[in-house]
Amino acid sequence: MNSLILTTTPSRDYELLDSGDGEKLERYGAVVVSRPDPQALWHKKLASAAWKSAHAKFSRTAERAEWKFDAHTPERWNIELAGLKFWIKPTAFKHVGIFPEQVSNWTWMQECIKKSAHPVKVLN
């Protein structure tokens, strides 16, 4: 069996700005999002002002989980990654609708589909 290691390249519509202390700060298009990430076990690098300036923040307590959007942030918006267009729509369980770390897989699939001599069906 052959191994294939895929890496992601920078994108104008997605950027991991910082992570740590159980959270991550990301940019999807023009919108900066702050949300929990239990895998971010290290300390944050950016100052707290960068985190406080996020346009959308997810918070969770024992009673509720919710997104808080600043006054000018839509509840859904478009971005483009690897030539694919996506709606970003934060959910009640902290997700935003896509996993940007999968971009290299999408690119690889697009290349395989283009090379295929047969119709291809893909289930996501």
Q: Domain of 68: which CATH number?
A: 2.60.40.1180
Residue 113 lies in a domain: no
Say whether pLDDT at 6 is over 90.
no
Residue 5 lies in a domain: no
pLDDT, tens digit, 9 for 90 and up, residues 27-62: 999 999 999 999 999 999 999 999 999 999 999 888
Question: 52 is written with which tokens?
Answer: 């406080």
**Domain tally for the chain?**
1
For residue 69, the Cα-to-chain-centroid distance in whole angstroms is 17
- Among 19-23, 59-63, 116-120, the range scoring the smallest mean pLDDT is 59-63
Give the CA dihedral 30, 34, 38, 39, nearest 10 degrees.
30
Per this entry, what is the length of the chain? 124
Q: Which domain holds residue 75?
A: 14-98
Residue 52 lies in a domain: yes
Alpha-helix residue ranges (DSSP H) falling in 17-74 = 48-52
Question: Residue 122: which pLDDT band, with cuts at 50, 70 and 90?
Answer: confident
Question: 27 is written with which tokens?
Answer: 């940019």
**pTM, whole model, 2 decimals?**
0.83
pLDDT, tens digit, 9 for 90 and up, residues 54-87: 999 999 888 888 999 999 999 899 999 988 899 9
Residue 114 lies in a domain: no
